[in-house]
Each structure stands twice: as C-alpha cells, then as structure tokens.
Amino acid sequence: MNVLILGSGGREHAFAWKIAKSSSCNNLFIAPGNAGTAEVGNNVEIDVNDFESIKKFTLSKGIEMVVVGPEDPLVNGIYDFFQEDEELQNISLIGPSKDGARLEGSKEFAKEFMIRHAIPTAKYQAFTKKNLEEGYEFLKSLDAPYVLKADGLAAGKGVLILDNLQEAKTELKAMVADAKFGNASSTVVIEEFLSGIELSVFVLTDGDSYKILPSAKDYKRIGEGDTGLNTGGMGAISPVPFADRFYIEKVEREIVKPTVEGLKKDGITYKGFIFIGLINVKGQPKVIEYNVRMGDPETEVVIPRIKSDLLNLLKGIDDGTFSEKDLNINDQAATTVMLVSKGYPQSYEKGEAISGIEDVTESIVFHAGTKNENEQLRTSGGRVIALTSFGENIEKALAKSFASAEKISFRGKYYRKDIGFDL
Ligand code: AMP
Ligand code: GLY
C-alpha cells in the first residue's frame, strides 16, 4: 500500500515509524515531515491545508491511504474534499468528516453533543457579545477558579483558567467583544472547574465499532511541578497507573460507547482517531475536551506500545474488517521526554545544530521540530525531539528517557526532569 501521512511533528514521526514497519507498506510519504520522518519515508514539501496539491500528489503517486495527523485540515474539511471528488473518493482517508471535526473545532458543539448523549462533563453555558451580561451573571453563579474557553481553534491557547471573578469578567469581554482570539472567541464556553488528575484516552473507530488504544498522561506546562505556561506537551507516560482495567471499562461504558453511538445517531461520519481528554473527579471520569486526532506527545508513547500492525488496523477502517482485527498492546510502560528550544512556548531560536543522536541506544528518537541542512541536523521548532523508552514500570522507562536526554546536545536545550512526578 502507498501511504501519505500529513503533518510534521513527533506524532507524525511516530506514525511513520510504525507504518513503515508494516509488511503491507509499499511507499510511504510524509507531507511536509521532518528530518526524522525522512529516515523512514519520503518527505514531500506540501502544506497540510493545501488540498489541491495533496490531490495532485495523491493521484500521481498512487496513494491508497492518507493518515491525517493535525486537526487543522480535518476542521477545514479534508475528509469531505476527498469524498466529494470522483478521483479521490475511493482513497482511504483516516480522519473524521468536517462535521465530526467540530468536536474539536467548536467547544460549544462538543458540549451540546455531550449533553445530547448524556456523556459526563462539566456544567457550562455559552456566550457571545450579545448576551455578555448573562455571561457575567453565570460567572457569579460559579465558584473560582473560572474556566473560559474560546469556542474555535486557538492554537492551544484558547482556554483561560482564572482565580478571580473580576479578572474572569474582563477576560470574557476581551474574548467575545474585543476578539482576543480572533473569530475563535466570538463565542465563549464558560464551564465549571473540575478538580482531579487528567488522563487521555484514545479511540480508533470506523464509525461503527471502536478499539480503545493505550491511555496516556501528558505534561503540558513548561515548568517543573506543572508550573508556568502551557505548551503542546513536554512529555508523556503510558499506561496511566490509576486507569486500571476497571476504570477503563467505566470510561468505555460512560464515555467511549456513547460517543461512538452518538456520532452514529447524529449521522456524523467518523473514521479515525478520537482523543478524549478526561479529568478524574473522585473516581468519576468527566470529559474536558475532544480532539479529533491523536495527541502529541501522547502518540510517541501510545503508538510504540501497539504490537499489532497499525497499517493493517487502519486498512480495516474502510474495507469493513476493522471489528475483526486484533489490537495487541505491549504490557511494558512507555515514557517520552521532550527536548525543547530555549524560550519555548514563547519566541525561540531555530537552526541550532543538534548532535549526539547516534549515542542514544536505549530510547526511540522521535523528531518533532528538526530539519537537515547540508547534512547537518538542526532545530526547526519549539519542540525538537521526543525520547521514548520502555521499562517494566514508568520509573525505569523514565530513567532511560532522561539518560538519553543528556546525550543529545543543541544550544538552549531544555527539558522537564520531573515527568511522571505526580504518579
Ligand atoms: P485544552 O486547551 O482544551 O486542552 O485545555 C487546556 C487545559 O485546561 C486542560 O488540559 C486542562 O488542564 C484545563 N481545563 C480545561 N477545562 C477544564 C475544566 N473544566 N476544569 C479544570 N481544568 C480544565
Ligand atoms: N498533547 C496535547 C495535544 O496534543 O493536544
């Protein structure tokens, strides 16, 4: 099979690394990819939102499956673009339809979906500048901290958690009336603050049946002890100790099943990954968000734990055999530690020379933001390299990831030395 993966991060390197191992993989392309994906496939210089160029490339190379990494092209309707095109409609595209992608593209849509299908979530209301005063009243009815979410995509920055009522009112106004996050915040979801440990559950579905992939926990803040600014994710572990079999069965019963059935009832086509962000509130899992893709860096621990042939599983999604396929998981724990550029998630330098990768023997090196310039590997993003390791438990796996992190050098390298500290 000829496969095209869209995206350029650690997630896409992990997908490419896994798919390249499949006996059914013939030619593998990654658009635009990074220096890591170029080691397991062929990079193509195409933007993930340039559907016409993707079409041309897909047809010219006889691509039979497109795996979409990031949310943007999904929210922009790449699934529908393929379905509506006679030449593309028989090509398997792994990802939801534009309607399905609204689970991530609109927080209000996601909340309405959860309420409609009785899926546990924080209580909420949505506001625009037309009912700003009601928004203030709703804030008053809640206890601090206050959670304000821009309805649309805001590059991971659209969620504000504020301790003070006056500040919450000021921010609400800035979001709906003064376009703090542009169009994305013309509607704002205000919701009850949920206190508990976070957990990410990943589901792969063909729209009918589903498989629950390994769970993971991501460490989002830049600073140790979960302090400082939010990032895309500084490290991840899998499995999550408190999410034992009984807990995951509860998540399946109360959240996964109603989600997949809800999509079906609502007539929404969904053939891809669902990333369910949960908070465990005193043993009760509640959904804080849906993403319509895999997480990054969660993919760097989830995918390596899958023993089954991923491409074979994905093939089943379109040929009607998905429910018959096995999903075998490695019992070992996996951890990943992200090396980032100095200054990230704010401004940072690019183009720093990277060395030492060849000395890493105990971890898988997933590239997140790298590129090769005249045979020299250089940084090209805020998140640079994810180091994934296995161990009989999380501590042992982490020890390997940290040891590998010391072996790689680039100017301004930073990583959190406390991934897994809270477990
Ligand atoms: P998101 O950008 O949707 O991933 O949200 C960013 C972070 O905000 C989440 O990872 C949670 O840590 C936090 N968060 C979102 N909603 C809530 C909530 N209702 N209660 C507590 N924390 C929340
Ligand atoms: N690591 C969080 C995300 O991918 O959204």
Provide the CATH number for the domain around residue 132: 3.30.1490.20
Pair (127, 89) in one structural domain? no
Pair (142, 88) in one structural domain? no
Domain boundary among 143, 170, 191: 191
Pair (92, 127) in one structural domain? no
Pair (90, 6) in one structural domain? yes
What CATH number does the domain containing 35 carry? 3.40.50.20
Question: What is the CA(353)–ligand 2 centre distance, in A?
Answer: 27
Instruction: Determine the 3-state secondary structure of 282 from DSSP.
Output: coil
In a domain, 105, yes or no: no
Domain boundary among 191, 206, 229: 191
Question: What is the CA(90)–ligand 2 centre distance, in A?
Answer: 30
Give yes or no for residue 381 CB within 6 A of ligand 2: no
Say if residues 67 and 3 touch (Cβ distance below 8 Å). Answer: yes
Domain boundary among 191, 220, 245: 191
Say if residues 369 and 379 touch (Cβ distance below 8 Å). Answer: yes
In a domain, 141, yes or no: yes
Domain hosting 16: range is: 2-96
Residue nearest to ligand 2 atom 4, measured at CA: 295
Please, what's the b/e burial string for 185-219 (b: 16 or more CB within 10 A of its CB; e: otherwise)?
bbbbbbbeebeeebbbbbbbbbbeebbbbbbbbbb
Question: What is the CA(277)–ligand 1 centre distance, in A?
Answer: 9
Say if residues 379 and 350 touch (Cβ distance below 8 Å). Answer: yes
In a domain, 45, yes or no: yes
Which numbered ligand comes closest to the C-alpha of 216?
Answer: 2
Which numbered ligand comes closest to the C-alpha of 104?
Answer: 1
Pair (82, 130) in one structural domain? no
Question: What is the CA(113)–ligand 2 centre distance, in A?
Answer: 21
Domain count along the chain: 2
Strands 65-68, 92-96: pairing kind? parallel
- Angle at the Cα of 253 (from 250 to 256), degrees rounded to 5? 105
**Tokens describing residue 279:** 């908070």
Pair (85, 150) in one structural domain? no
Indicate the length of the chain as a whole number.
423
pLDDT per residue as tens, the chain (423 positions):
999 999 999 999 999 999 999 999 999 999 999 999 999 999 999 999 999 999 999 999 999 999 999 999 999 999 999 999 999 999 999 999 999 999 999 999 999 999 999 999 999 999 999 999 999 999 999 999 999 999 999 887 889 999 999 999 999 999 999 989 989 999 999 999 999 999 999 999 999 999 999 999 999 999 999 999 989 999 999 999 999 999 999 999 999 999 999 999 999 999 999 999 999 999 999 999 999 999 999 999 999 999 999 999 999 999 999 999 999 999 999 999 999 999 999 999 999 999 999 999 999 999 999 999 999 999 999 999 999 999 999 999 999 999 999 999 999 999 999 999 988
Q: For residue 102, what is the enclosing H or E element?
A: helix 98-105
Pair (11, 76) in one structural domain? yes
List, in order, residues 6 or more apart from 250 with CB less than 8 Å away. Answer: 285
